[in-house]
Chains A and B, each alone.
Chain A
Amino acid sequence: MNRDLIAGAVLLAIAGAYYVSIGTIADSTLSDEVGAAGLPLALAGLLALIALVMMARAVLATRAARRAGGPVAAVEDDEEGDASVPRALGLLLIGAAYVVLLPYAGYVLSVALLIAAVAFYEGAARSWVIPAAAIGGAALYWAIFVKLLGVHQPAGILVQGWLS
């Protein structure tokens, strides 16, 4: 039940940070009696209360389990039990790299790199398929978003500079 204790602490921290930020809301006479800060205050309080109850329950459960002499926390049958958290976070980092790269490298190049990087990271066999999928995918998405739908995607500062 240790997990719940940590979760409770994180929730309490969120409630605290949120509460502190309420101070940045301007006070306006255009507002009503509840005010712009009304609901946020209630939410911060509610979340803090939930967090405290959750932590208290986690502590009590651990104690009760200890007293009973049983294992502290029974390992539950867990679908995420074999999860590799660093691997999952790595995938997110690739996404973050895309976000940083996008304004500079432009849409087409960034998407191609993203597809290639993810495919490689997820263990695709090193072959011509990776670059082929990357180029094909970038072309496909460019055709759908930019050409067909006509929505804007960044052209890329570096690419533009190089072209002109």
Chain B
Amino acid sequence: MALVTTFWDIVHLLTGTPLFLVAILGLTWGILGGALPGISASITMALVLPFTYTMDPAMAIALLACVYIGAEYGGSIPAILIRTPGTNSSAATVIDGYEMNRQGRAGEALGISLMSGVIGSLFGLLMLAMLTEPLSWLALAFKPTSYFALGILGLSVIASMGGDSLLKGLAAAVIGLMIATVGTDPISGVTRFTFGVPDLLSGIEPVVVMVGLFALTELMSQSGSTSVTQLGNSIRIRLPGWEMMRTLRRSQIIGCILGLFEGLTPGGGGSVAAFMSYNEARRWSKTPEKFGKGSEEGIAAPETANNTVASTALIPLLSFGIPSSNSTAVLLGGLLMHGLLPGPRLFEQNPQVIDSLYVGSLIAIIAQIGVGVIILPACVWMVNRPRPYRSGFIFALILSGLYTLNNSTFDLGLALALGLVGYFMRLARFPVLPMILGVVLGHMVESSYRRSLVLSGGDFHIFVEDPIAVGLLGAALLFVTFSLAREYREARRTKLQEAHQ
């Protein structure tokens, strides 16, 4: 299972125009699809799938992998520039990315997300190429109880996210969880809260909620605001220098580690890793107070994480034939279509497929810097247009993208309704983030909790018997206690100060 059989294979693969071209085309296509709201990484890949049927299998697989890398990165561009996550996994990037943009630091924010993406992808590719075998067994260590605990750890973050009121954050999270219950019940298969609407049978897509709550709310808020702020961003893209990279190192390591785990385990497909690394980065940051107000680390962590996933998600796919996300499911389709069966024997029988997958990914990752530097200034220029036109184009972009999700105007109506909800939440000072976290994690928490209890016959000991679950639940408990204690201390301090005055 060598990375590449000989030196000459590398030379051949690098100089042979097809792979080089395929990698860059795939990457560019991926960035485009990922950057368009509503067109997720998996859809971007699915859109090129039919074209790959006639290609050489090795090229086809490399192309799909490069599209995946591009799409995971591309989602961050609209997240930073127009408060619209292009893909589910870039939702966490919105928080500090858009804030930096509002401060006129769009070029800096885009540069950080670009470089963090490259670092995440390189780390992921390294893991994929070197440690597929040992890591694939780590994927097996996760049981339903562990997934439940992982989801709870993710939700525990709400304790520190509530902003000025914990109660409001909690309320928002509960509503998010309620949205996640719509659709087909994961255990019994009965329908819940669908009211006979077929569009609701497979649930509400997280991206519809995100676009509604983030992007539409922002458009409405800008429209309603009399004090118009014109974004005056320089179109220069500023890649982070050495000094900045040192500051970001901690958050990028967090992103790499969480992205690695998320890629290995079936589930959220990047979005859970992005949110969790955002929170961990804040927890471990030297300047946690900057988070939410334009923190560079707040972009670096989720962007490193979701790009790491784009490579590590291939580990369970290639070693077990198990797609851990929708994107890798498309890749699996591509493999099957060419008569390739993923699994241990793929490495022996079709080493050229594996080689071109690795080398193609490497080319794409390096090319990402170049492609980014070329296209990003144009993107910044576009959002620098006068507000009336900018709003019109963003609105049209959102509604065009969401329509492609299910070919249905139902999703558009839903997003508009959620925009209304988000607007009133903003007026009433409810934080939006806990709600999105609820939508993203609700399904995983509920289904794995119930699955665990079915396994044990209703015996709660099953959660204690799984060491991973114990560790994660313990961490969640510690975190909640810690955050509440800190909040309490701060509240008392302000009260004391007021009393003194």
Chain A residues with a Cβ under 8 A of chain B: 3-4, 6-7, 11, 14, 18, 21, 24-26, 28, 30-40, 43, 46-47, 50-51, 53-54, 57, 80, 82-85, 87-92, 94-96, 98-99, 102-103, 107, 111, 114-124, 129, 133-134, 137-138, 141, 144-145, 148-154
Closest chain A CB from B291 CB (angstroms): 18
Which B residue's beta carbon lies closest to that of A57? B167
Q: B167–A54 contact, CB under 8 A?
A: yes
Name the A residues within 8 Å of B393 (CB-CB).
115, 133, 137
Within B140-178, which residues are at the interface with A (CB < 8 Å)? 167-168, 170-171, 174-175, 177-178
Name the B residues within 8 Å of A33 (CB-CB).
453-454, 458
Q: B33–A149 contact, CB under 8 A?
A: yes
Closest chain A CB from B320 CB (angstroms): 27
The CA of A7 and the CA of B425, in the complex, are separated in Å by 9
Q: B454–A32 contact, CB under 8 A?
A: yes
Q: A118–B388 contact, CB under 8 A?
A: yes
Map CB proximity to A onto B405-428 as digits: 1 under 8 Å, 0 otherwise.
Answer: 001010011001001100100111
Q: A82–B187 contact, CB under 8 A?
A: no
Contacts A36-B187, A99-B412; is A88 near B423 (CB within 8 Å)?
yes
Tell me which of B36, B185, B195, B224 contacts A144 (CB under 8 A): B36
Q: Is B54 an interface residue (CB 8 A)?
A: no
Name the B residues within 8 Å of A95 (CB-CB).
216, 395, 399, 412, 416, 419
Selected A-B contacts with CB under 8 Å, 17 pairs: A3-B428, A24-B195, A25-B190, A32-B187, A82-B227, A87-B223, A88-B224, A90-B223, A98-B399, A99-B409, A99-B412, A102-B409, A103-B409, A111-B399, A118-B388, A118-B396, A138-B396
Using C-beta atoms within 8 Å of the partner chain, give the interface range for chain B.
35 or more
Name the A residues within 8 Å of B220 (CB-CB).
88-89, 91-92
The CA of A36 and the CA of B404, in the complex, are separated in Å by 30
Q: B171–A54 contact, CB under 8 A?
A: yes
Map CB proximity to A onto B323-336 as digits: 1 under 8 Å, 0 otherwise.
Answer: 00000000000000
Q: Is B181 an interface residue (CB 8 A)?
A: yes
Q: Is B384 an interface residue (CB 8 A)?
A: no
The CA of A50 and the CA of B187, in the complex, are separated in Å by 28
Q: B223–A11 contact, CB under 8 A?
A: no
Tell me which of A30, A82, A84 contacts B188 (CB under 8 A): A30
Which B residue's beta carbon lies closest to that of A48? B174
Q: A28–B167 contact, CB under 8 A?
A: no
The CA of A151 and the CA of B50, in the complex, are separated in Å by 13
Which B residue's beta carbon lies closest to that of A6? B428
Which A residue's beta carbon lies closest to that of B427? A80
Chain B residues with a Cβ under 8 A of chain A: 32-33, 36, 39, 47, 167-168, 170-171, 174-175, 177-178, 181, 185, 187-193, 195, 216, 219-221, 223-227, 386-389, 391-393, 395-397, 399-401, 403-404, 407, 409, 412-413, 416, 419-420, 423, 426-430, 446, 449-450, 453-454, 458
Name the B residues within 8 Å of A54 (CB-CB).
167-168, 171
Name the A residues within 8 Å of B446 (CB-CB).
39
Q: A141–B400 contact, CB under 8 A?
A: yes
Name the B residues within 8 Å of A6 (CB-CB).
428
Which A residue's beta carbon lies closest to that of B457? A33
Q: A83–B187 contact, CB under 8 A?
A: no
Name the B residues within 8 Å of A34 (CB-CB).
187, 449-450, 453
The CA of A87 and the CA of B221, in the complex, are separated in Å by 9
Name the B residues within 8 Å of A25 (CB-CB).
185, 190-193
Q: B223–A121 contact, CB under 8 A?
A: yes
The CA of A21 and the CA of B197, in the complex, are separated in Å by 14
Q: B39–A31 contact, CB under 8 A?
A: no
Which A residue's beta carbon lies closest to that of B407? A152
Name the A residues within 8 Å of B392 (CB-CB).
114-119, 122, 133-134, 137
Q: B413–A28 contact, CB under 8 A?
A: no
Identify whether the interface residues of A are mostly helix, strand, loop, or mixed. Answer: helix
The CA of A121 and the CA of B388, in the complex, are separated in Å by 8
Q: B396–A92 contact, CB under 8 A?
A: no
Which A residue's beta carbon lies closest to that of B223? A91
Which B residue's beta carbon lies closest to that of A29? B188
Told that A88-B224, A154-B403 touch, could you supply 4 new A-B pairs with CB distance under 8 A? A26-B191, A54-B167, A149-B33, A149-B47
Name the A residues within 8 Å of B387 (CB-CB).
122
Closest chain B CB from A111 CB (angstroms): 5
Q: A153–B400 contact, CB under 8 A?
A: yes
Q: B190–A36 contact, CB under 8 A?
A: yes
Q: A43–B177 contact, CB under 8 A?
A: yes
Q: B224–A85 contact, CB under 8 A?
A: yes
The CA of A117 and the CA of B225, in the complex, are separated in Å by 18
Instruction: Give 4 closest A-B pairs by Cβ, nearest first.
Output: A88-B224, A31-B188, A122-B388, A118-B392
Q: B171–A47 contact, CB under 8 A?
A: yes
Q: B389–A7 contact, CB under 8 A?
A: no
Which A residue's beta carbon lies closest to that of B414? A99
Name the B residues within 8 Å of A114 (CB-CB).
392, 395-396, 399
Q: A40–B181 contact, CB under 8 A?
A: yes
The CA of A80 and the CA of B453, in the complex, are separated in Å by 46
Which A residue's beta carbon lies closest to that of B196? A24
The CA of A138 and the CA of B223, in the complex, are separated in Å by 22
Closest chain B CB from A158 CB (angstroms): 15
Closest chain B CB from A61 CB (angstroms): 12
Which B residue's beta carbon lies closest to that of A14? B175
Which A residue's beta carbon lies closest to that of B193? A21
Q: B450–A32 contact, CB under 8 A?
A: yes
Contacts A95-B395, A141-B396, A151-B47; is A88 near B223 (CB within 8 Å)?
yes
Name the B residues within 8 Å of A141 (CB-CB).
396-397, 400
The CA of A83 and the CA of B167, in the complex, are separated in Å by 25
Of A7, A40, A96, A151, most buried by chain B (CB within 10 Å of CB) is: A151
Closest chain A CB from B139 CB (angstroms): 25
Which A residue's beta carbon lies closest to that of B177? A43
Q: B420–A92 contact, CB under 8 A?
A: yes
Contacts A51-B171, A99-B412, A124-B386; is A38 near B400 (CB within 8 Å)?
no
Name the B residues within 8 Å of A122 (CB-CB).
223, 387-388, 391-392
Name the B residues within 8 Å of A14 (CB-CB).
175, 178
